[in-house]
Structure 1
Amino acid sequence: MAWERRGDGLYYYRSERENGRVRKRYVGRGEVAQLVAHADETRRAVRERR
């Protein structure tokens, strides 16, 4: 998952595998994207602790 700067804005994308290829999926920007990014970080941290 990554934040990308495009022009004056920051946009949040998720990387997902689809048919053996990695695709970037747009999630959003602003507060909603920040909440999703935080949830993704939390899930990743829990997964890595196992």
Structure 2
Amino acid sequence: FCSLIKTSSIPIQRNAVLKNLYQFQLKKIAKVIATLHEDLQYDYIKQLKHLE
């Protein structure tokens, strides 16, 4: 979801609902990444930073 929104031309900064949904999804992703093994965390954190 986040990568599709990021690559689309949808201006999420103008829409509060989409912006909040996007930020909430990023927080959920960060929580899940924290539960993974360190090697996997490194890879996924790099991808997460690209989405932020």
Q: When the two structures are superposed, what TM-score results if normalisation uses the length of structure 1?
A: 0.50
Give the equivalent residue in structure 2 for 1:34. 19
Greater fraction of residues in helix: 2
Per-residue displacement from partner, 1:3-25 (whole Å, max 9, x unpaired)?
A: 111xxxx167xxxxxxxxxxxxx
Per-residue displacement from partner, 1:17-38 (whole Å, max 9, x unpaired)?
A: xxxxxxxxxxxx7110000000
Superposition CA RMSD, Å: 2.0
Q: Where do 5+ consecutive residues of structure 2 fail to align?
A: 36-52
Structure 1: which 4+ aligned runs deviate by more than 2 Å?
A: none
Work out which structure has the larger RCO, using CA pairs closer than 8 Å and 6 or more positions apart in sequence: 2
Q: Percent identity?
A: 10
State the alpha-carbon separation in 2 of the partners of residues 40 and 33 from structure 1.
Answer: 10
| Paired residue total | 30
Q: Where do 5+ consecutive residues of structure 1 fail to align?
A: 13-28
Q: Which amino acid aligns with 1:41?
A: L
- Are residues 1:44 and 2:29 paired? yes
